[in-house]
Amino acid sequence: MQRLLAAAGYDARENDPFADKPALVFAARETSPYVNRIGLLWEKMRGPVIERFPKAPGLPRNIDAYMKRVDDAYITDAYHSLSIEGYRVTRDLIERVRTGTLNPDANEGDREQRSALAARGYWLAYQSVPGSVRRVVEGANAGAVASDDHRAWYRELFAPSVTAGILKPGDLAGYRNGPVYIRKSMHVPLNREGVRDTMPALFDLLRAEAEPSVRAVLGHFIFVYIHPYMDGNGRVGRFLMNVMMASGGYPWTVIPVENRTAYMHALEKASVGEDIAPFADFVAGLVERRLAGEPLPAVPKGSGWRPAKRQPPGPRPRARGRSPEPVRRSPPPVAIIPGRKTRHGVASGSAPEPRRAGRRVG
Which is higher by pLDDT, 109 or 132?
132
Q: What is the pLDDT of residue 103?
A: 65
pLDDT in tens, 56-77: 999 999 999 999 999 999 999 9
Q: What is the pLDDT of residue 12?
A: 72
Q: For residues 37-57, give the mean pLDDT.
A: 97
Sign (positive or negative) of CA dihedral 97, 103, 108, 111: positive
pLDDT in tens, 192-241: 999 999 999 999 999 999 999 999 999 999 999 999 999 999 999 999 99
Which is higher by pLDDT, 98 or 283?
283
Query: How many domains does the chain fold into?
Result: 1
Q: Is 227 left (phi over 0), alpha (psi -120 to 50) or beta?
A: left
Instruction: Specify if 17 maps to a domain.
Output: no
> In this model, does residue 306 exceed pLDDT 50?
no
pLDDT in tens, 315-342: 444 444 433 433 333 333 333 333 333 3
Instruction: Specify if 49 maps to a domain.
Output: yes
Instruction: Specify if 156 maps to a domain.
Output: yes
Q: What is the pLDDT of residue 106?
A: 61
Q: What is the pLDDT of residue 107?
A: 63
Residue 50 to residue 101: CA distance in whole angstroms:
45
Instruction: Specify if 265 maps to a domain.
Output: yes
> In this model, does residue 264 exceed pLDDT 60?
yes
Instruction: Specify if 88 maps to a domain.
Output: yes
SS (H, E, C) the chain: CHHHHHHCCCCCCCCCCCCCCCCCCCCCCCCCHHHHHHHHHHHHHHHHHHHHCCCCCCCCCCHHHHHHHHHHCHHHHHHHHHHHCCCCCCHHHHHHHHHCCCCCCCCHHHHHCCCHHHHHHHHHHHHHHHHHHHHHHCCCCHHHHHHHHHHHHHHHHHHHHHHCCCCCHHHHCCCCCCCCEECCCCCCCCCHHHHHHHHHHHHHHHHHCCCHHHHHHHHHHHHHHHCCCCCCHHHHHHHHHHHHHHCCCCCCCCCCHHHHHHHHHHHHHHHHHCCCHHHHHHHHHHHHHHHCCCCCCCCCCCCCCCCCCCCCCCCCCCCCCCCCCCCCCCCCCEEECCCCEECCEECCCCCCCCCCCEECCC
Instruction: Specify if 158 maps to a domain.
Output: yes
Question: Which pLDDT band holds residue 98 (cuts at 50, 70, 90)?
Answer: confident
Instruction: Specify if 22 maps to a domain.
Output: no
pTM: 0.75
Q: What is the pLDDT of residue 110?
A: 54
Q: What is the CATH number of the domain that holds 272?
A: 1.10.3290.10
Query: Whole domain around residue 60: which residue ranges?
Result: 33-178+188-296
Q: What is the pLDDT of residue 14?
A: 75
Instruction: Specify if 149 maps to a domain.
Output: yes
Which is higher by pLDDT, 344 or 292?
292
> In this model, does residue 168 exceed pLDDT 80?
yes
pLDDT in tens, 111-152: 446 578 899 999 999 999 999 999 999 999 999 999 999 999
